Amino acid sequence: MRTSVLLSRGPGPGEIVEAELDDPRPGEVVVRIEAVGVCPTDLVTRKALGDRPAVLGHEGCGIVERLGADVDTLGVGDRVVISFASCGRCGQCRAGRPAYCDHTAALNGSGRRADGSPTIRVDGTPVFGSYFGQSSFAAAALADARSCVPVGDIAPETAAPLGCGFLTGAGAVLNVLRPRPGDRLLVVGAGAVGTAAVLTALSDRVEVVVAEPVAARRARAVRHGATAAASLDEPIGTVTHALDTTGRPEAIAGALALLRPRGTLALVGLGPATAGIDVRALTLRGLRLRGCVEGDARPALLVPELIRRHAQGRLPLDDLVTTYPLDAFDQAVTDQRAGHTLKPVLLPPVRPHSGSET
């Protein structure tokens, strides 16, 4: 079927072009994209691909429009969030930890389906698609039904980042750190992931302190009930749990130093591959250091839980989102880097594709 996509070629501005989306195979669906978040990983991948033409985007939310064979969990007309892809069969998937699926690379980052078949063609030539099993910087995306989570009538621009960024921050709190009321959590970096973690912890009546150099981000965290410091050098006090979203070695070492005995530091940011850590303190104080991807989440369980909290007014994720038209991708990225927006969400045109099917 014909659709329009935001085609990136290297780090320059992308352009909206007509494209051919493959028909859904068994287990797949076509989703008409209503909103799609911009995640830092999109930018990392765009850079890594050089000038190879690509359709990125991995926080899609929209309406199921076509069903492949054997799809019995979704119906046409359902609003869904599309999360990362996993195989559903390997040991990690069967253990309920699809973020560590044995086939993650092939399913999310190869540019094609796991069997090597392309999903998007431009002018008859396959382009890098199927990104995180979706490539949702587009008016329509092809996704595995397993990756789609029904979300009901929540605003699509609020729901879209639940596919990755919000899922990562919230999952790090609810699945990995699991603080209880009365505990004290330090969140280093109050970008979209960090702030989702802050709001999630606050919704469980955990005391939260944020370390974040950007004043507007600190102010947002404080408005929601956290305390905030510009850096870890300020007197923050000790904490029972910590989350680093920056990946910076000095932030990791600084957060570890603030943990009380038997405390846990979770890492979600990707920075330099190595960091100097005081392993004596780690041992003598019984600390735990724990990396995690996508908040260890099973999207089918965590996304509905977060939507429930949002509906109860406990998780004001709307406050993190700024919307842009799909073709304003570069402006959205510029604003995010400048600290003007926390989570840019792109809105494809309302009448997204011709609908002509071949």
Residue closer to Zn ion by CB (options 39, 170) is 39
Whether the CB-CB separation of 213 and 230 falls below 8 Å is answered with yes
Nearer to Zn ion, 39 or 239 (CB): 39
Q: Which is nearer to Zn ion, 22 or 42 (CB)?
A: 42
In the complex, minimum distance from the CB of residue 130 to Zn ion, in angstroms, rounded to a whole number: 15
The gap between the terminal CA atoms of the chain, to the nearest Å, is: 6
Evaluate the CA torsion angle 247, 249, 250, 252 in order and state its sign. positive
Nearer to Zn ion, 40 or 316 (CB): 40
Nearest approach in angstroms of CB 222 to Zn ion is 26
How do strand 239-244 and strand 60-67 relate by DSSP bridges?
unpaired
Query: Is the Cβ of residue 41 or residue 246 nearer to Zn ion in the bound state?
Result: 41
Minimum distance of Zn ion from residue 106's CB (angstroms): 10
Query: Smallest distance, Å, CB 161 to Zn ion?
Result: 9
Q: Closer to Zn ion by CB, 183 or 244: give it.
A: 244
Contact present, 191 and 245 (Cβ < 8 Å): yes
Quote the longest CA-to-CA distance of the chain. Answer: 66
Q: Name residue 154's amino acid.
A: I
The two tokens of residue 219 are: 């102010």
* Residues comprising the chain, all counted: 358
How many angstroms separate the CA atoms of 325 and 347, rounded? 5
Q: Please say which residue, 239 or 326, places its beta carbon nearer to Zn ion.
A: 326
Return the SS3 of 40.
helix
CB of 99 to Zn ion, least distance (A): 10
At its nearest, how many Å lie between Zn ion and the CB of residue 144?
12
Least distance (Å) between residue 174 CB and Zn ion: 18
Least separation, in Å, of the C-beta of 92 and Zn ion? 6
Burial degree of 95 (CB within 10 A; 0-12, 13-18, 19+):
exposed
Burial class (CB in 10 A: 0-12, 13-18, 19+), 70: exposed
Rounded CA-CA distance 138/344 in Å is 15
CA distances for 65 relative to 19, 32, 37, 72, 111, angstroms: 17, 6, 20, 14, 23
Write out the residues near Zn ion by the rule CB under 5 A. 39, 41, 86-87, 90, 93, 101, 164
Q: Tokens 């970096």, residue?
A: 189
